[in-house]
Chains A and B, each alone.
Chain A
Amino acid sequence: MHRTAKIAVNAAAYLLFFLFIAPVLWMLILAMKPESVVAQSLREWLFSPYTLDNFRKVLQSTNADIKLWLTNSFIVSVLSTLGVLILCAMAAFVFSRMKFAGRTFWFWLIMAGLLVPREATLIPLYLLFRNMDLLNTYFSLIAPTLAAPFGLIILKQFFDGLPEELFEAAKIDGCGWIRTWYRIALPLCRPALASLGIFVFLAAWNDFLWPFISVTDPKIMTIPVGLPVFKSQYFSTQSLPMAASAITSIPIIIVFFIFQKYIVKGIAFTGGK
């Protein structure tokens, strides 16, 4: 490619880069404006005084406990992730390596679940938890996510790719199925587990619709449900909701940059093959 063309493509790339980072910068700028500032023009926004007071106020707010919501989000996401990984790894191993009566039936029944969007089961799911008197619990947030057909098929593909000799050798050495599962199969599929795990974690962290329906108690709220509550309590100002948004994006942005490699690999792995 010509030099000028290369420069043009670079320039286009960085223009897009700037457009994409702009909303994040906007969030940070507004988060650091004193509550009283009601600026109208870009220049006023950029050059009026900056302060870190909003962050302190947000963290100390008593009628909207951001710290508690962050903790809830963390607990729910971690438990969801662990649960999905364990359940899917067990089931995937069975479908990939074991022979048993009803194998085809169960496999297709579970695969049919790929066609069922959570949104379509919202009302019966709500009624189910209401009947069990389990609305407003961590359990109601975690349980519906655990049996993920998507996770099962990803891990099954991975197990299918492992050499059969490995499992035959284990069998000859007298290694039982369960031991084969956690001593041989699990350690080998660590990369697949990591990719799937990040995926499930992000999905659980950002889930909105189901938590919004099943949780009304502020003590159990996760960040996606709590933030709109917080915003409606401070609707007269933009700076406090922005500060809250900034504070709550930071953990997930850190997670993202640490695990970027796995996220990218995970998406490529789930979509490309």
Chain B
Amino acid sequence: MVSKFKLRAKSKESMIAYFLLLPFIGFYLLFTFYPLMQGFFISFYEWNITSDKVFIGLDNYKELFAEDAFWQALRHTFLYVVFSTPIFMFGAFLFAVIIDHKFIKGRALLRGVFFLPNVLAVSIVSIVWISIYQPYGGLLNNVLSLFGIEGSLAWLNDKNLVWPAITGLTFWWNTGYYMILYLAGLQEIPEDRYEAAQIDGANGWHTLRYITLPSLKRIHVLVLFLQAVASFKIFGQVFLTSEGGPGGASRTYIQYIYESGFQRFLMGKASAAAFVLFLVIMLVSMLQLRLLKNVNED
């Protein structure tokens, strides 16, 4: 009798659980899980939306890996991740350390302004920075000329300048977010560690090197991976400012997917490229979980 009652209570709990879960699971399966699987299947077909699907096995992947434009887009994106990530990390850390000092006047305002660009849509950011990067009359070249650097540099139209320009724009746009993470980390460092260091006669550099930096290990890992994954998915600010130019010099990986799928209508090939993106991001995320686990166990 007792077990039967328990069983009924349990099955009732299960029913209610599924009732509450249903909307989430429904939307999740339909708009995340199914598209992921579907994309994987489409990547084995030749298909341009209007034609019939033709199964071609791994040909899309072979074609992808044989194409210069694919490697070019991948290389751009990869180099951007490698070069911009340390810059963003350093910037965010520097901002956080500066405004964490109690003697800084108006800390809340500074924090707000450093974070503010984050809330602006990529389209607004792009319109503003296109104007800043104008060769003639743009803000940046104007400011540079105050320091005697003339030459009307075409920031977005020069293949050597376009990536520094995009890195600068993105630095302005996103650093504040990671700064907040660092600030949260800084506030968790126990005050007595600093006091102990002071008694031992440590100077500012020593405390930074031997207390602040090592105490933030968790945040370093977190920022590193958040930024690396975000950088790998870079698209909007490039597409809207340089449009991938000049001559494909700033074409990103997502732009390659977009062009293959929505301009050339190579659905299979674009899906193959998207699946490669998924694999890369999955590997990076798993590495992150691994590292975070190690840090937490320290």
A residues contacting B by CB (< 8 A) are 1, 5-6, 9-10, 12-13, 16-17, 20-24, 26-27, 30, 38-42, 45, 86-88, 90-91, 93-94, 98-101, 103, 106, 109-110, 113-117, 119-128, 143-144, 146-147, 149, 152, 176-178, 181, 202, 205-206, 208-209, 213, 223-225, 227-228, 231, 238, 241-242, 244-245, 248-249, 252-253, 255-257, 260, 263-264, 267-268, 271-272
Which of B60-68, B78-86, B132-140, B158-166 sits within the interface?
A: B132-140
Do B124 and A248 touch (CB < 8 A)?
yes
With A116-B278, A123-B274, A272-B185 known as contacts, the answer to whether A128 contacts B103 (CB < 8 A) is: no
With A241-B127, A267-B180, A272-B184 known as contacts, the answer to whether A98 contacts B16 (CB < 8 A) is: yes
Query: Which residues on B sit within 8 Å (CB–CB) of A23?
Result: 117, 128-129, 132, 139, 172
With A20-B114, A42-B146, A147-B24 known as contacts, the answer to whether A271 contacts B36 (CB < 8 A) is: no
Do B285 and A114 touch (CB < 8 A)?
yes
Complex CA–CA separation, A51 to B11 (angstroms): 70
Query: Which residues on A sit within 8 Å (CB–CB) of B262?
Result: 126, 213
With A23-B132, A178-B16 known as contacts, the answer to whether A10 contacts B121 (CB < 8 A) is: no
Query: Which residues on B sit within 8 Å (CB–CB) of A257?
Result: 112
A144 to chain B, nearest CB (A): 4
Do B98 and A238 touch (CB < 8 A)?
no
Count B-side interface residues using an 8 Å CB cutoff.
92
With A123-B271, A124-B34 known as contacts, the answer to whether A1 contacts B21 (CB < 8 A) is: no
Do A256 and B116 touch (CB < 8 A)?
yes
Complex CA–CA separation, A194 to B230 (angstroms): 24
Do B34 and A87 touch (CB < 8 A)?
no
B89 within 8 A of A: no
Query: Which residues on B sit within 8 Å (CB–CB) of A231?
Result: 127
Do A119 and B274 touch (CB < 8 A)?
yes
B71 within 8 A of A: no
Q: A127-B267, A147-B31, A271-B219 are in contact. List 4 more A-B contacts (CB 8 A).
A: A13-B110, A21-B113, A124-B35, A144-B31
Query: Which residues on B sit within 8 Å (CB–CB) of A42?
Result: 139, 142-143, 146
Query: Which residues on B sit within 8 Å (CB–CB) of A149?
Result: 28
Complex CA–CA separation, A202 to B25 (angstroms): 24
B281 within 8 A of A: yes
Across the interface, A208 reaches (CB within 8 A) one of B27, B121, B185, namely B121
Do B184 and A109 touch (CB < 8 A)?
no
Do B31 and A125 touch (CB < 8 A)?
yes
Do B277 and A120 touch (CB < 8 A)?
yes
Complex CA–CA separation, A21 to B184 (angstroms): 23
Most chain-B CB neighbours within 10 Å: which of A20, A205, A227, A242?
Answer: A20
Complex CA–CA separation, A127 to B42 (angstroms): 11
**Which residue of the partner chain A has the closest CB to B122?**
A208
Across the interface, B204 reaches (CB within 8 A) one of A1, A249, A253, namely A1
A-B contact pairs, 7 of them (CB 8 A): A13-B104, A87-B27, A119-B274, A122-B258, A122-B261, A264-B115, A267-B177
Query: Which residues on A sit within 8 Å (CB–CB) of B286?
Result: 115
With A245-B124, A245-B127, A272-B188 known as contacts, the answer to whether A120 contacts B36 (CB < 8 A) is: yes
Query: Which residues on B sit within 8 Å (CB–CB) of A116?
Result: 32, 36, 278
Do A120 and B278 touch (CB < 8 A)?
yes
Complex CA–CA separation, A252 to B118 (angstroms): 10
Query: Which residues on A sit within 8 Å (CB–CB) of B27?
Result: 87, 143, 146-147
Across the interface, B38 reaches (CB within 8 A) one of A128, A143, A268, namely A128
Complex CA–CA separation, A101 to B13 (angstroms): 10
**Which residue of the partner chain B has the closest CB to A178?**
B16
Query: Which residues on A sit within 8 Å (CB–CB) of B226?
Result: 271
Query: Which residues on B sit within 8 Å (CB–CB) of A90?
Result: 20-21, 23-24
Query: Which residues on A sit within 8 Å (CB–CB) of B20?
Result: 90-91, 93-94, 98, 177-178, 181
Do B285 and A115 touch (CB < 8 A)?
yes
Do B36 and A121 touch (CB < 8 A)?
yes
**Which residue of the partner chain B has the closest CB to A87?**
B24
Query: Which residues on B sit within 8 Å (CB–CB) of A39?
Result: 137
Most chain-B CB neighbours within 10 Å: which of A45, A87, A242, A248?
Answer: A87
B196 within 8 A of A: no
Do B285 and A110 touch (CB < 8 A)?
no
Do B31 and A122 touch (CB < 8 A)?
no
Do A124 and B111 touch (CB < 8 A)?
no
A63 to chain B, nearest CB (A): 17
Query: Which residues on B sit within 8 Å (CB–CB) of A238?
Result: 131
B70 within 8 A of A: no
